[in-house]
Structure 1
Amino acid sequence: MGFKRKPFKGKKGIHKVNKSKPIIKCIKFSLHKFVKDENTRFIIEETVLKGHKIVIHTLQFMKLYMIYCFDEDIPFPKINRNFVTSIIKVICRPRTTTGDPNGKKLGGPFSEQTRNNINTLTNFYNVHYKPFMLEELEYDHMSSIIDYLSDDIVIMYANNIKQHYIEYIERYVNVSFNKKQVIEDIRSLKIATEEKNTRVNHFCTELRKIKNDLLSCEKKYTSDAKYHTWIIEYKKRLIPSRKLIKDNLYYDLQCNPYDYLGKMIYMMKYVESTGNTIYNVCPLRTNIVPKYIPIDTVAVVRLMMTENKKFYRQEGNLVKYQRYIWRKFFHIDKYKKKDYVFRNIIRTDGVACSMLMVRKDLMNKRLPKEPKISTPEEYIDELKDYSALKDMRVVSVDPGMSDLLHSCRCYAYEGKCEYTKKCDNPKPLKKGETYPREQVWRHGLLLCQQCKVYWNRDTNGALSRGEASISGVKRRSRTKI
């Protein structure tokens, strides 16, 4: 009995990629399930440890060199991949080659600027850092990984400055005016508690105005006139003397973060001289647990291929045979996701592994930047014309764990406090209390007699936000929250 051939239905339709999905996705799993043999796993673990030690020493060396430049009044170097890579090549044992008569080679060819940087860093390394190194580092076959690690270090410095510079300013002002001691002296006075709180609040308000004047580009200061001389003198030391972009320190800080590195070192030097605790200006890695490193196709060829390395690195063969290269050492076909393909790069710490997936329609293409969504709403502090808001009712919200309480307030409010919610699980009665448990209320709201709308009486939440908004609309000085 013969078998009937199935009728031909033609070619299957091409699957259309859903372009609304994210561009990048990541799959995480154990490394030992991803590699095909133990030798590959051993090579990766050794590479992770090498990269971890290199990052530790690079950050330590950079911190020492930055402090040295500050103390010797030497211009700070431009922190970029070229500078960080030069440091790594200096602190690691030079690669040996048969063509070099001395048996040492840093790689190359280098530009004149790079060679000058390496010579300067080498002299500093031999005098100040090398005597304290307990082991030799090497980066053989890790050139592509070193580039990724250098980019990570550059981002570390930029993020540290962008996120913490304002905290350094506040710390410097607090120490300069001995905030902690002044508050302790006020608290030790034999006066009423309300008077103590009033004096402390007044002192803290003065410090806040000083900090705002330091961070503001306005020539008119809001602080007391007795502080203006101090502000003018120290503003030159804490803020770049050039014209700030858009006359806004916060915007300029995001655009040129490295211009503020010397200012941060100066502030912490002063704080340290007073015996107070300091912030770490330069990021460090102090954890002994190895962190993730990226491994791409170039790294796989350099680290794991034992034959024909040059063949894969010339005439575009690296891209042509990259699937074959990855399949030789890893189970890349074991992990799939609809509409996504493997992007030929993984991140691993020797134990876990993260596979980077890219949407199919963007494979081997430059990834587009996600467009910024423009919204018609504006922040209240960015408005220039407040006339439309003066007659409006200000609404503030106090988000809670269980509900959102919308607080509506009139300008002339007089009302009574009403508790509108009961506790689901009230706390035990205190000693001497006689009210029944079912009357333990959850939250108190004030009923406005003018508009008959409840508003939150929580002075630490919605009321504070409402007061701040009203002050902004009416062009009044903002009360301290």
Structure 2
Amino acid sequence: MYIKDEPPDKYQCLKIPIRKILHKDIDNNETIQIINNAVMRTNVITTKTYFLLRLWVLQKYNNQQEIPEITEDTIRMCMKSVMKSSAGPKPKGNNLLLLQEFQNLYSFPSVEDGKNLSAILNYYATTMITAIENNIKLHFMDYIHRFVNSYFKHLYMEEIQDKDFKKQLYTELKVVKNDIINNTLLCDTKYHQWINETRYKIVPSEYDTNYYYDIKATPQKYFKYMIFMNTELERIEGKMFQFFPLQTNIIPRHIQIDTKALIELFVNEKMGEYLDNIEKYKDILWSKYFNIKQSLRKYVFDYTIITDGYGVSLRFLHKNFVEQEKTKKERMKNGRKSLKGLTKEQKEKIKKDKEEQQKKIKEERKQQRQSENEKKKQIPKVKKSEKPKEEIPLPEFPYIDEIPKEQLGGKHIFIDPGKRSLFTMMDDDGKYFSYTNKQRINETKRLKYQALLKNYKDKLEITSKENTLSGYNSKTCNVEKFKEYITEKLNVNNELYALYQKEKFRQYKWYAYINKKRSEDNMVNKIINKYSKDHIIIIGDWSIGKQMRNFISTPNLTLKRKLQEKFKVYNIDEFRTSCLCYKTEEPCKNLYLPDKKKKERKIHSILTYKMENKRKGCINRDKNGCKNIQKVFKSYMETGERPEKYKREYKLE
């Protein structure tokens, strides 16, 4: 049985222009200048850090050395290597060796000023690890698919021109990819030698539970396999991927400012006194530099803002978590106190002991999981009817068969999502409403801002300078070629930093955000006015696997979440709801009409079908989808099953 467990979000953010929280009675320009300066310096430091870290990983791989785990300490030492020496304590032990390694890896023409940025850069270190690991977790399986496809496309470059050969090849490769991921050998025997030679260059021979779980648990273990695949793609001139994220866009990005960062940026005298007593002084400091009157119900201001110097997100903490956060901060403060007076060596030892303890716990958990899996294999299988019903938390958008039917009663809106018409919807009475991609683009003024930014960049001669990078490949796995890219990219950046600091770039980003929110709010209000707040939304589970070529990107999940703010939203499996006619339950065909040059053109939005009188009928594709979703839903509510022809096991003639 599924249960809906929805604890409150720990944090909520309120996004507004930064000038709305500045005092009118102090020098706002100076405050903005200090924040902008911190934003610019942080962006330059993090850009160089990403470059250096990627180069470091590549160097380790090419020297056939083990790639060490990238930790926050690794990132801090990397950041330190691109900054001017500070007056604080110098790194020792492993950190000193790391720092020297980074300094010797690449010689930057200039070092950056990291003064009073330690708190901000510490947050960025965490953000960078998240970005690095998410790139692996979210894309590794896609990279396997791309590598296998590209490799065999290259191998059968001439034969693949034949459509039948191409179709057969991709059918066979599907099994090959499954063999690699599932550690099996079920594919055609002609691929066996290649799989046996290549498998463990693509995936590790040892893994925990399965590859899907292992990637989530230890993502950085997969660096060398990603580099191998990318190197091979580079060799055969296939489409490469970015195995390591880079920060290439130099429009100023957001930084996180908490009370510690506020003290470092704005307090010039008795900084130590303020840093030692953050809880005591935080209200005084925030009210001195900012006038934050905004509030959110059941939330309190968390003394943290995220800003790019133009827009700002005020972070609020839910009241349920206030005491928990206080206890956590008190524990951290006591931990810092306990380290006071200790030598660097003693601190290093405590840190190493802690790391060893964490590794031990991790290993014990792994062994426990393996032991439990072995025990499960030995337990005789229980019949489905005998199994006790477990309470499983509901997914974000549960399917209609995952919840009790009683919750599905009432009035309904049936939605068929798509690319051109983002949402085509219909209620129980057949009243239609649509929210199209064209409408969204007009309301958000997306293309307008793109054109304005392009013209502005052309006027400042930014585009022509950036075009010099077209001769370099940021995805290369060749160390020397990547060094050449870094050199050229930094030269271009140095010319463009001052231009990209102009407020207009961040201003257009802000306008785009405001228009997007306004468009989404208008969409929800129109749905409420057209139908009602009490309607339950039944939406097709269509999702686009990857961006369609020559088609502007569109949201899907974002809009579903927006609907969920006002309505109950449930998924429905939309298998065959697009291809079958809702009236006859027979396959539809696309309508073709001649254009001005008498050439037959497919009209994607219109489907044709044979009516009962054998004549040809036409129907709007999206409306047909809505009708079919309604039909499947009604069938489920009445019989507990889908109509026969909408079942996956039913074979169409």
1:337 aligned residue (274, 296, 303): 296
Residues 157-236 of structure 1 correspond to what in structure 2 (within 5 A)? Answer: 157-178=132-153, 182=157, 185-187=159-161, 196-197=163-164, 199-218=165-184, 221-236=185-200
Secondary structure, aligned partner of 1:313: helix
Structure 2 stretches lacking a partner, 5+ long: 1-5, 328-390, 400-413, 418-423, 427-538, 541-571, 601-607, 629-633, 637-642
How far, CA to CA, are the matches of 1:72 and 1:312 in structure 2? 47
How far, CA to CA, are the matches of 1:341 and 1:64 in structure 2? 43
Percent of residue pairs bearing the same amino acid type: 25
How far, CA to CA, are the matches of 1:32 and 1:349 in structure 2? 12
Secondary structure, aligned partner of 1:366: helix
Tell me, yes or no, if structure 1 residue 441 matches structure 2 residue 404: no
Tell me, yes or no, if structure 1 residue 325 matches structure 2 residue 503: no
CA gap 1:214/1:20 in 2 versus in 1, 3 angstroms? closer
**Structure (1/2) with the larger helix percentage:** 2
Tell me, yes or no, if structure 1 residue 257 matches structure 2 residue 219: yes
Q: Indicate the residue corresponding to 2:202 in structure 1.
A: 238
How far, CA to CA, are the matches of 1:121 and 1:286 in structure 2? 20
How far, CA to CA, are the matches of 1:62 and 1:153 in structure 2? 10
| 8 Å contact kept, 2:154–2:236 | no
After superposing the two structures, state which structure 1 stretch, 288-297 or 353-362, moved more. 353-362
How far, CA to CA, are the matches of 2:644 and 2:233 in structure 1? 37
How far, CA to CA, are the matches of 2:144 and 2:130 in structure 1? 22
Q: Indicate the residue corresponding to 2:325 in structure 1.
A: 366
Residues 73-112 of structure 1 correspond to what in structure 2 (within 5 A)? Answer: 73-95=64-86, 97=87, 107-108=88-89, 110-112=91-93
Residues 132-143 of structure 1 correspond to what in structure 2 (within 5 A)? Answer: 133-143=108-118
Q: Indicate the residue corresponding to 2:469 in structure 1.
A: none
| 8 Å contact kept, 1:239–1:260 | yes
How far, CA to CA, are the matches of 1:465 and 1:205 in structure 2? 24
Tell me, yes or no, if structure 1 residue 284 matches structure 2 residue 250: no
Name the amino acid aligned to 2:228: Y
Structure 1 stretches lacking a partner, 5+ long: 1-18, 98-106, 189-195, 381-396, 410-414, 448-452, 456-461, 472-481
TM norm structure 1: 0.69
CA gap 1:427/1:23 in 2 versus in 1, 3 angstroms? farther
Secondary structure, aligned partner of 2:306: strand
Secondary structure, aligned partner of 1:322: helix
Q: Indicate the residue corresponding to 1:53 in structure 2.
A: 44
**Bigger RCO (CA 8 Å, 6+ sep):** 1
**Alpha-carbon shift at residue 185 of structure 1 (Å):** 3.3
Tell me, yes or no, if structure 1 residue 299 matches structure 2 residue 265: no
CA gap 1:226/1:303 in 2 versus in 1, 3 angstroms? same
Q: Indicate the residue corresponding to 1:352 in structure 2.
A: 311
Please identify the structure whose Cα radius of gyration is greater: 1
Tell me, yes or no, if structure 1 residue 70 matches structure 2 residue 61: yes
Tell me, yes or no, if structure 1 residue 144 matches structure 2 residue 119: yes
How far, CA to CA, are the matches of 1:21 and 1:338 in structure 2? 12
**Alpha-carbon shift at residue 74 of structure 1 (Å):** 1.9
**Alpha-carbon shift at residue 115 of structure 1 (Å):** 1.9
Secondary structure, aligned partner of 1:440: strand
Q: Indicate the residue corresponding to 2:130 in structure 1.
A: 155
Name the amino acid aligned to 1:200: K
Secondary structure, aligned partner of 2:393: coil
TM norm structure 2: 0.52
Name the amino acid aligned to 1:241: S
CA gap 1:416/1:302 in 2 versus in 1, 3 angstroms? closer
Pairs aligned (count): 379
Secondary structure, aligned partner of 1:275: coil
**Alpha-carbon shift at residue 201 of structure 1 (Å):** 2.0
**Alpha-carbon shift at residue 245 of structure 1 (Å):** 1.1
**Alpha-carbon shift at residue 374 of structure 1 (Å):** 2.4
Q: Indicate the residue corresponding to 2:406 in structure 1.
A: none
Name the amino acid aligned to 2:170: C
CA gap 1:186/1:279 in 2 versus in 1, 3 angstroms? closer
How far, CA to CA, are the matches of 1:470 and 1:83 in structure 2? 56
| 8 Å contact kept, 1:420–1:441 | no
| 8 Å contact kept, 1:217–1:249 | no
How far, CA to CA, are the matches of 1:407 and 1:363 in structure 2? 41
CA gap 1:265/1:442 in 2 versus in 1, 3 angstroms? same
Name the amino acid aligned to 1:68: Q
| 8 Å contact kept, 1:301–1:312 | yes
**Alpha-carbon shift at residue 464 of structure 1 (Å):** 11
**Alpha-carbon shift at residue 463 of structure 1 (Å):** 10
CA gap 1:417/1:200 in 2 versus in 1, 3 angstroms? farther
Secondary structure, aligned partner of 2:124: helix
**Alpha-carbon shift at residue 339 of structure 1 (Å):** 2.2
Residues 121-140 of structure 1 correspond to what in structure 2 (within 5 A)? Answer: 121-124=102-105, 129-130=106-107, 133-140=108-115
Name the amino acid aligned to 1:253: I
How far, CA to CA, are the matches of 1:442 and 1:281 in structure 2? 43
How far, CA to CA, are the matches of 2:101 and 2:110 in structure 1? 22
How far, CA to CA, are the matches of 1:138 and 1:309 in structure 2? 19
2:18 aligned residue (31, 40, 44): 31
Secondary structure, aligned partner of 1:321: helix
Secondary structure, aligned partner of 2:64: coil
How far, CA to CA, are the matches of 2:287 and 2:581 in structure 1? 74
**Alpha-carbon shift at residue 276 of structure 1 (Å):** 2.2
CA gap 1:225/1:327 in 2 versus in 1, 3 angstroms? same
How far, CA to CA, are the matches of 1:266 and 1:441 in structure 2? 50
Name the amino acid aligned to 1:402: M
Name the amino acid aligned to 1:174: N
CA gap 1:49/1:463 in 2 versus in 1, 3 angstroms? farther
Name the amino acid aligned to 2:48: H
How far, CA to CA, are the matches of 1:363 and 1:417 in structure 2? 54
**Alpha-carbon shift at residue 439 of structure 1 (Å):** 5.1
Secondary structure, aligned partner of 1:277: coil
How far, CA to CA, are the matches of 1:349 and 1:398 in structure 2? 37
Secondary structure, aligned partner of 2:325: coil
How far, CA to CA, are the matches of 1:420 and 1:470 in structure 2? 12
Secondary structure, aligned partner of 1:140: coil
How far, CA to CA, are the matches of 1:408 and 1:322 in structure 2? 53
Give the CA RMSD over aligned residues: 4.2
CA gap 1:134/1:214 in 2 versus in 1, 3 angstroms? same
Name the amino acid aligned to 1:224: D
**Alpha-carbon shift at residue 232 of structure 1 (Å):** 1.4
How far, CA to CA, are the matches of 1:373 and 1:353 in structure 2? 38
